[in-house]
Amino acid sequence: MSTVSKARPGGRSARIQEAVHDAVRSLQASSSRDAITVPLIAARAGVTPSTIYRRWGDLAALLSDVAADRFRTPESPAETGSLRGDLLAWAAQFIEEMGSTPGRGYIIDVVAGDSTGANTGACVNYARSALKEIFGRAPDAGLRDLEDALDRLVAPMMYRIIFDSDRIPSGYSTTLVERYLAAHPT
């Protein structure tokens, strides 16, 4: 959430936030990126443009909040019965979702409108949580350093998606997981 945003769960503020987020998502599903404007979002959400400006500051900050929410995955990573299997499944899904054209667009939205670092930080925490859950349940996981796993697994995927997305080799997530497990055998 951006600096200006302050939602009391269940209150009027939360209802406005939900209506505005819904409006953005529905416009994103039907319109090109350049066609989405604050007045259009406001009209669809049934609020005034100034409500949006007061709460989010600008369009980029609102798009960053909405995009960060998309990366908050409530489901647990798939369970396959082994650490290797869980990591392979999770990393393959990560690169498939985040590396898709809309996925990359949402990553860029998160980054571009995040003046406080809250939304980018939240994305790192989602990845930390998923890895922590995988490490916590695998009987063969041993003691695992989450930050080291971020460096070796998440960082290369994110870097390639953002900076080099046309050249990601097939099987890239598998390469990273195998390299990680070779460095930290079970």
- The residue ranges that bind a second copy (CB under 8 A) are 108, 111-112, 117, 120-121, 123-124, 150-152, 154-156, 158-160, 162-166, 176, 183
Taking the complex as a whole, the smallest distance from the CB of residue 10 to a second copy amounts, in Å, to 30
Q: Where are the alpha helices (DSSP H) in the chain?
A: 12-30, 38-45, 49-56, 59-70, 83-98, 101-112, 118-137, 146-149, 155-163, 172-183
Of 141, 160, 22, 18, nearest in space to 99 by CA:
160
With respect to a second copy, which residue has the nearer C-beta, 45 or 114? 114
Distance from first CA to last CA of the chain, Å, rounded?
38
Taking the complex as a whole, the smallest distance from the CB of residue 180 to a second copy amounts, in Å, to 11
Q: Which residues, 6 or more positions from 181, have their beta carbon under 8 angstroms from its beta carbon?
A: 83, 84, 87
With respect to a second copy, which residue has the nearer C-beta, 41 or 154? 154
With respect to a second copy, which residue has the nearer C-beta, 29 or 183? 183
Taking the complex as a whole, the smallest distance from the CB of residue 22 to a second copy amounts, in Å, to 24
Taking the complex as a whole, the smallest distance from the CB of residue 34 to a second copy amounts, in Å, to 8
CB 95 within 8 A of CB 171: no
With respect to a second copy, which residue has the nearer C-beta, 4 or 155? 155
With respect to a second copy, which residue has the nearer C-beta, 87 or 154? 154
Q: Which residues, 6 or more positions from 118, have their beta carbon under 8 angstroms from its beta carbon?
A: 1, 2
Taking the complex as a whole, the smallest distance from the CB of residue 171 to a second copy amounts, in Å, to 13
CB 77 within 8 A of CB 90: yes
